[in-house]
Amino acid sequence: MGDVVAPDLEELRAFTARLRCVGPCGEAGLGIEWLDAVEALKSVGCAVQAVVADDVATCMREDRKARRLPRTEWDRGIASQIALARRESPNRGGRHLGFARAVVHEMPHTLALLRSGRLNEWRATLLVGETAGLSAADRKIVDHRLCSDPNILDGVGDRGLVAKARTLAVELDAAAVVARYRKAVSERRVTTRPAPDSMAYLSVLMPMEQAVCLHATLGRDADSLIATGDSGGRTRNQVMADLLFDRGTGASVASGVPVAVNLVISDEALLASESEAADLAGFGPVPAGIARQLVADALNSDTAVTLRNVYSCPLSGSLTAMEAQSRSFPKGLAKLIDLRDRTCRTPWCDAPIRHHDHILSRRKKGATTAHNGAGLCAACNYAKEGDGWTARPVRRHGRTHLFDLGTPTGHHYRSAAPRLPSAARRSEIEAILIAHLRAS
């Protein structure tokens, strides 16, 4: 921290009292800067709480050990004291303490990002949760690869962050992940729990490919009913819920052809037993061993299986562009954008893609191309069309798709498409091509 001196407790409380006096800024641009600064302050506060919570636990354990208390007493009540100080339940106190121990002792780069204000508590908690099953050494590898460079997670939504951590976990301990998956399949079940206003949640724990297929089928048939005017004024979510009940009780059955479930896997992972994770549309990273088993099971059943070649740049993993002259995105190009973007491309938004948007609008002579196209959720697309918003694709040879998003207050954010799964090994020809590309 250089010559910066840490504040004492009284200084912290005095600053907190001053912060309470902050009111409306009266100017939108300045307000955005305030929001950014306070978000960074919250992250720094989370880092401080983690360090202090770990220190509290260490001090109390050492004191009890020095007084020769039984080992069963060393940790008793520590989490409860942390919970009381944070105005939380004892259960949450235990989670906070586990989080603190993980980031202080095993995830130094995550802690550093918290201290810098570039990562908030919730996203750090997701990283800790996704690495909980790894050894301390493997957890440190994930921490280094995801958090040593602040730009790696910049603009990545929560689901994207989880996907990155899960992918690395699969690569580092694929056998354990596959074993846990097979055990988890045996624990599939259906449960209910109360919800407010005399409602209830019906939860189904099932294999990911079945869940993705079920959700996609309900969504497809709901869209069909709405498009034909047979929805009775119901929303898409309401129709999906009603279809699930009707089909579960036998009142109706699914209609139409089965929906496609897209599994993106490199050729070497599929055919040569490489270990790089595949990607299941609507779910995220899937261990290569499980992906190969899904393909094998489909081939050995009555399920229709289609293999589609998707070409990517060997340097970046970005999809090859497709171009069309039509105003709306044709089906093939829309599918390419779905496979490339996976979720809404607005930074930090993980919502499903609902619209295929012209980044540079048609009003400004934006072309209907993969380069000028982006997958967005409905809310982000409507927001982008508001007064003062700007967007433009950024050309960069041989790298993942990128576009710049500008807000009415003059702030700019960049969105980069995720990489495709690609072969871990390179042939001699690929190496020569890559060398020529770098030299050009």
Conformation bin of residue 335: beta by default, left when phi > 0, alpha when psi is -120 to 50 = alpha
Q: Residue 227: which domain range?
A: 189-249
In this structure, is residue 168 part of a structural domain? yes
In this structure, is residue 21 part of a structural domain? no
Which residues does residue 403 pair with via DSSP β-bridges, in sequence order? Answer: 393, 415
Task: Judge whether residue 302 has pLDDT over 90.
Answer: no
In this structure, is residue 102 part of a structural domain? yes
Same domain, 407 and 339: yes
Same domain, 127 and 163: yes
- The full DSSP string for 217-285 is HHHHHHHHHHHTT-STT--HHHHHHHHHHHHHHTS----SSPPP--EE--HHHHHS-----EEETTTEE
Same domain, 349 and 224: no
In this structure, is residue 427 part of a structural domain? no
Same domain, 88 and 118: yes
pLDDT at 433: 60
In this structure, is residue 270 part of a structural domain? no
CA distance 279 to 409: 36
In this structure, is residue 356 part of a structural domain? yes
Neighbours of 164 (CB within 10 A): 22
Residue at which a domain ends, from 148, 173, 198: 173
Q: Which two tokens stand for residue 17?
A: 């009292």
In this structure, is residue 385 part of a structural domain? yes
pTM of the model: 0.68
Percent of the chain predicted with pLDDT > 70: 85
- Establish how many alpha carbons lie within 13 A of residue 38's alpha carbon, considering only the half-sphere containing its beta carbon: 11
- Residue-averaged pLDDT of the chain: 84
- The answer to whether the CB of 314 falls within 8 A of the CB of 292 is no
Same domain, 41 and 156: yes
Task: Judge whether residue 11 has pLDDT over 80.
Answer: yes
Task: Judge whether residue 174 has pLDDT over 70.
Answer: yes
Same domain, 169 and 95: yes
Neighbours of 121 (CB within 10 A): 17
Residue at which a domain ends, from 249, 273, 289: 249
- The answer to whether the CB of 159 falls within 8 A of the CB of 343 is yes
Residue pLDDT, tens place only, 240-256: 999 999 888 877 766 66
pLDDT at 195: 84
Same domain, 353 and 409: yes
- Please state which of the ranges 11-15, 257-261, 397-401, 436-440 shows the lowest mean pLDDT: 436-440
Residue at which a domain ends, from 133, 149, 173: 173
Mean pLDDT of 113-139: 92
pLDDT at 317: 61
Same domain, 59 and 88: yes
Between the ranges 29-43, 272-286, 308-322, where is the mean pLDDT highest?
Answer: 29-43
How many domains, the chain? 3
Same domain, 206 and 163: no
Same domain, 169 and 193: no
321: confidence class by pLDDT, cuts 50, 70, 90: very low
In this structure, is residue 300 part of a structural domain? no
Same domain, 164 and 57: yes
Task: Judge whether residue 55 has pLDDT over 70.
Answer: yes
Using a 10 angstrom Cβ sphere, with 0-12 exposed, 13-18 middle and 19 or more buried, the burial of residue 330 is middle
Task: Judge whether residue 139 has pLDDT over 80.
Answer: yes
- The answer to whether the CB of 264 falls within 8 A of the CB of 421 is yes
CA distance 18 to 12: 10
Same domain, 164 and 194: no
Task: Judge whether residue 393 has pLDDT over 80.
Answer: yes
